[in-house]
Amino acid sequence: MAQAHPKPGLRPFLPDDVPMLAAIFAASIQELTGDDYSEAQQEAWMAAAETEEFGKRLAADLTLIATLDGSPVGFASLRGKDHIHMLYVHPAVAGQGIATMLVDALEKLAGGRGAEKLTVDASDTAEGFFAKRGYVAMQRNSITVNDEWLANTTMQKTFGTGPASGALQ
């Protein structure tokens, strides 16, 4: 008999999640962004998880945790009502719909908060994922992270007004 894959779940962020989410953040950057960013850029980016600010940023946003068998495998955060601030999935589950589930939830929450559009500063690695979901590139950005320059793209998705829009059901 074939064994069914466990169904992913969603839950809110808890302060005790910070170490596990920092590990997911670092693993995601280290293993998934190598084609788009240099090793020095990756190191600078990953260092953000080693500060107290990382947990504070997660707590300040509406952060959702994706789980498999109760263990965190990814997370995403909504800043305000209309900006996806973070989206990271552990490399072991990349391509299995975890990021899609997280962004679906954030889009519904944003719509429920009255947002007419949702923006994200997508890494070069994530740009294609967001483009497939209907996000449109608005501008290229260069940001400094720990003395390294990293590029990303501000993307935007405008919600429709019909029943299929981002409003909560």
Q: DSSP for 55-111, please give it.
A: HHHHHHSEEEEEEETTEEEEEEEEETTTEEEEEEE-GGGTTTTHHHHHHHHHHHHHH
Rounded to an integer, the average pLDDT of 32-52 is 92
The model's confidence at residue 4, banded by pLDDT at 50, 70 and 90, is low
Q: What is the bridge-based pairing of β-strands 83-89 and 62-68?
A: unpaired
The model's confidence at residue 43, banded by pLDDT at 50, 70 and 90, is very high
Rounded to an integer, the average pLDDT of 136-156 is 94
**pTM of the prediction?**
0.89
Rounded to an integer, the average pLDDT of 76-99 is 96
Round to whole Å and give the CA distance between 99 and 67. 11
User: 42: part of which helix (H) or strand (E)?
Assistant: helix 39-46
